[in-house]
Amino acid sequence: MNLVSKLEETASQKPEKPACLFQDQYMTYQELAGKIEAFANGLEDRGLKKGDHLALLLGNTPDFVIAFFGALKAGVVVIPVNPAYTPSEIAYMLKNGDVKAIAGIDLLIPVFESLHGSLPLLEHIIISQTAENAPSTEDPQLRLKMTTFTKMLRPAERSRTYPVLSKDDTAVILYTSGTTGKPKGAMLTHQNLFSNANDVAGYLGMNEKDKIVAALPMFHVFCLTVCMNAPLMSGACVLIEPQFSPASVFKLIKRRQATIFAGVPTMYNYLYQYEHGKAEDFASVRLCISGGASMPVALLQTFEQTFDVTILEGYGLSEASPVTCFNPFDRGRKPGSIGTNILHVENKVVDTLGRELPDHQVGELIVKGPNVMKGYYKMPEETEHALKDGWLYTGDLAKRDEDGYFYIVDRKKDMILVGGYNVYPREVEEVLYSHEGIKEAVVIGVPDAKTGEAVHAYIVPADGELTEQAVFDYCEQHLAKYKRPAEVIFLDEIPKNATGKLLRRAVRDMLPK
């Protein structure tokens, strides 16, 4: 069984069941399966074979779902790319990923035109129409390579034989941002993706009555598995939101009686801050999911109290398809924890020699299971560093309690060393978020002549009344001296990535060189 065969099974058993909703229009499982098959045929007609690479530069639309599953059906490897990336960022992934075809939005035609001459392997560009006055190209060679998404979905004129998909065949290459150097392409197999989607769906009790809001970007692995693949493996309905905004999310949930919402902590913060949001708008929601970054406990508790919902935190990374831990749905949840092992996945905390540590001791989190990648594309040394004896070394510092619940302490590379003492940014950020005058906060370490490193806090105030001294006084009450910020910097906004995750790296880049 794989993602495509499971979806087709649902389509044959419950053809009229809604699979997704976009801009007030439902698409049934039967309709979706038909479009997926047509897209797979279109790829074959254009000469794409099993193992070729297709980049998706698409927004949150049914086109993304169709292209994703259609490529997998044809045995073509999918490379999801953020359409908002700069041309140079896109160029790196298309070149490094040996992309033979692109499915992208029409607004990117000028970008494709500028990159065309530097992509010798590129043979086809499939344009998803999103704008009435979309740009065009004057390049005759590029025009010959272009077709529209609509033409890809024409009914088949003959029966087809599709490639046999092995569980170990690469299905997707996800480029991870990483903390240093160029992005690495994590190769995820058909087994990786199917097992994780299936196990997440089972762990969270997803079923055909559920309606899941997909407001996270679909090109990101969090949305890909939790908001798209897992629901479609459960016969549920995916409510596709083109882009996140508090107003549209509240409206969608209330109007369509959504049952599950998934987001990163920043999204929950925006929803909480939205003055027109009401608890009754969330009345149909049985479960909220948070991931992508650690959620401050203060935010989790105030959100739950305000909207009368339960938020379950989980943990994952691209290299693990992505989920490895979740707070249990059917038993005790621990705020601040990423939960326990999901089905078929094992997490462990180890020291620098790879030896498992006792409960409550901090070490590196490592992961093993059918969801763990086969390696990084064209990067054997990086693969060898990340995968050892079947275990994936995450680079995250964590600890486990006596009940088997895991807690992320921080990124290994983000730990701050102040006068020989370890300071974990998340611990300081938790304290800052508990202050009612602070809307957002990020803590980093900066070089210091006396202590080696010093703690600097970058803060977005909730109003104009907050002062630096007030922050210092608050931290003095809640943090040991070596953990307290030596400097407080107020910002209008903290840089974020496409999912809304606060970017510690971007804040670091603000420092004078």
Same domain, 145 and 195: no
Full residue range of the structural domain in which residue 403 is found: 187-411
Same domain, 202 and 315: yes
396 is a domain residue: yes
Same domain, 211 and 328: yes
What is the pLDDT, as a whole number, of residue 419?
Answer: 78
The residue among 387, 411, 435 that closes a domain is 411
Same domain, 432 and 373: no
Q: If we measure between CA atoms, which residue out of 271, 284, 206 comes closest to residue 245?
A: 271
CATH of the domain at 141: 3.40.50.980
56 is a domain residue: yes
What is the pLDDT, as a whole number, of residue 179?
Answer: 45
Q: In whole angstroms, how far apart are CA 194 and each of 15, 53, 171, 454, 485?
A: 21, 19, 10, 44, 44
182 is a domain residue: no
250 is a domain residue: yes
Only one residue has tokens 């939960």, namely 339
The residue among 356, 379, 411 that closes a domain is 411
Same domain, 301 and 372: yes
CA-to-CA distance for 166 and 438, rounded, in angstroms? 51
172 is a domain residue: no
Sign, CA torsion 451/426/175/266: negative
175 is a domain residue: no
391 is a domain residue: yes
- What residues are paired with 454 via a beta bridge? 446
Output the 3-class SS for 337-388: CCEEECCCCEEEEECCCCCECCCCCCEEEEEECCCCCCEECCCHHHHHHHEE
What is the pLDDT, as a whole number, of residue 178?
Answer: 52
Same domain, 499 and 422: yes
Q: If we measure between CA atoms, which residue out of 184, 179, 217, 224 comes closest to residue 200?
A: 224
Same domain, 248 and 196: yes
Same domain, 374 and 421: no
What is the pLDDT, as a whole number, of residue 180?
Answer: 47
What is the pLDDT, as a whole number, of residue 309?
Answer: 96
What is the pLDDT, as a whole number, of residue 74?
Answer: 97
CB 51 within 8 A of CB 39: no
Count of structural domains within the chain: 3
What is the pLDDT, as a whole number, of residue 450?
Answer: 82
The residue among 367, 395, 411 that closes a domain is 411
Same domain, 77 and 197: no
CATH of the domain at 505: 3.30.300.30
320 is a domain residue: yes
What is the pLDDT, as a whole number, of residue 177?
Answer: 64
CATH of the domain at 284: 3.40.50.12780
Same domain, 126 and 211: no
pTM: 0.87
Cis check for the bond before 231: say yes or no (omega within 30 of 0). Answer: no
Same domain, 198 and 236: yes
Same domain, 387 and 420: no
**Tens place of pLDDT for every residue, the chain, 513 residues?**
999 999 999 999 999 999 999 999 999 999 999 999 999 999 999 999 999 999 999 999 999 999 999 999 999 999 999 998 889 889 999 999 999 999 999 999 999 999 999 999 999 999 999 988 889 998 999 999 999 999 999 877 777 899 999 999 999 999 986 544 678 999 999 999 999 999 999 999 999 999 999 999 999 999 999 999 999 999 999 999 999 999 999 999 999 999 999 998 889 999 999 999 999 999 999 999 999 878 889 999 999 999 999 999 999 999 999 999 999 877 788 999 999 999 999 999 999 999 999 999 999 999 999 999 999 999 999 999 999 999 999 999 999 999 999 999 887 788 888 877 778 888 899 999 999 999 999 999 998 888 888 999 999 999 888 999 999 999 999 998 889 999 999 999 999 888 888 888 888 888 776
